[in-house]
Chains A and B, each alone.
Chain A
Amino acid sequence: MDFLLQLLANGLVNGTFYALSALGLTLIFGLMRVVNFAHGELYMVGGLIGWALTELVGANFFLALLIVVIATGAAGYLIDRWLIERVRNQGAESGILLTIGISIFLTNTALLIVGTVPHKVLSPFANKPLFLGPVVLTQSRLSIVAICAVLMLAVHLLIKHTTLGRAMRATVQDAMAASLVGIRTERIHGFTFALGTALASAAGALLGSIYVTQPTIGGLVSLKAFVVVILGGLGSFAGAIIGGLVLGVAEALWGGYFATGYVDAIGFALVIVMLLVRPYGLFSVKSERA
Chain B
Amino acid sequence: MRKTCLGIAASVVMAATAAQAQETIKIGLIQPLTGSVAYNGKTDVNGATLAVDMRNAKGGVMGKKIDLVVEDGQCRPAESVNAAEKLIQRDKVVALAGAFCSSATLAVMPVAANYKIPLITGVSSNASLTEKGNKYFFRATETDELLAKSFAKVVFDTLKLRNVAYIGVNDDWGRGGVAEFEKQMTALGAKTVMKEYFEHGTTDFYTLLTKLKSSGADGAFVAAETQDGSIFVKQKAEFGLPVKVFGVGSWATADFIKLTGDASEGLYAAVPYASTMTTPKNKAFVDAYVERFKEPPGKYSAAGFNSLNIMMDAIERAGSTDAEKIRESLTKTNYEGPNGHFQFDAKGQATGFSVVLVQLQKGVPNVIATTTVEH
Contact = CB atoms under 8 A, between A and B. Distances in A.
B197 A260 contact: yes
Interface SS of chain A: helix, strand, loop or mixed?
helix
A290 to B, nearest CB: 38
A162 interface: no
A118 B40 CA distance: 11
B23 interface: no
B259 interface: yes
Contacts of B231: 211-212
Interface string A120-137: 100000011101000010
Interface in A93-141: 107-108, 111, 115-118, 120, 127-129, 131, 136, 138, 140-141
A60 interface: no
Given A118-B39, A138-B238, A10 B206 contact: yes
Nearest to A5: B210
Contacts of B230: 118, 212
B115 interface: no
Interface in B163-218: 170, 196-199, 201, 203-204, 206-208, 210-211, 213-214
- Of listed A17, A131, A207, A255, residue having the most chain B CB within 10 A: A255
Contacts of B35: 216
Contact of A120 (B201, B213, B259): B259
Nearest to B200: A220
Contacts, number: 97
A168 to B, nearest CB: 31
B210 A3 contact: yes
Contacts of B201: 216-217, 220
Nearest to B208: A260
A244 B327 CA distance: 56
B42 interface: yes
Given A127-B238, A211-B231, A217-B201, A256 B42 contact: no
A220 B39 CA distance: 17
Contacts of A23: none
B226 A118 contact: yes
B103 interface: no
A216 B34 contact: yes
A179 B203 CA distance: 44
A251 B205 CA distance: 11
A220 B202 CA distance: 9
A111 B214 contact: no
Nearest to B167: A260
B211 A256 contact: yes
Nearest to B170: A261
Given A120-B259, A129-B238, A211 B206 contact: no
Interface in A239-290: 251-252, 255-256, 259-261, 263-264
Top 5 A-B pairs, shortest CB-CB distance: A129-B240, A116-B39, A255-B207, A10-B206, A116-B38
